[in-house]
Amino acid sequence: MGLRTLLFGLAIYVVFRMLKNRIKRTHTTPPAVTYSDTVTCSQCGLRFPNQESNASDKLHFCSPTHRKQYFDQHGA
Ligand SMILES: [Zn+2]
Extents of the domains making up the chain: 1-30, 38-74
pLDDT score recorded for residue 76: 67
Gap from CA of 67 to ligand 1 centroid (Å) = 8
Gap from CA of 36 to ligand 1 centroid (Å) = 18
- Name the DSSP letter for residue 37: T
CB 21 within 8 A of CB 30: no
pLDDT score recorded for residue 44: 97
What is the model's pTM? Answer: 0.46
- The amino acid that residue 71 corresponds to is F
pLDDT score recorded for residue 20: 87
Gap from CA of 46 to ligand 1 centroid (Å) = 6
Gap from CA of 41 to ligand 1 centroid (Å) = 5
pLDDT score recorded for residue 39: 87
Neighbours of ion ligand 1 (CB under 5 A): 41, 43-44, 46, 62, 66
Strand partners, 59: 56
CB 50 within 8 A of CB 39: yes
CB 11 within 8 A of CB 3: no
| Distance in angstroms (rounded) separating the CA atoms of residues 36 and 48 | 11
Q: What is the mean pLDDT of each run of 10 residues along the chain (76 residues)?
A: 87 89 73 69 91 68 94 87
CB 59 within 8 A of CB 46: no
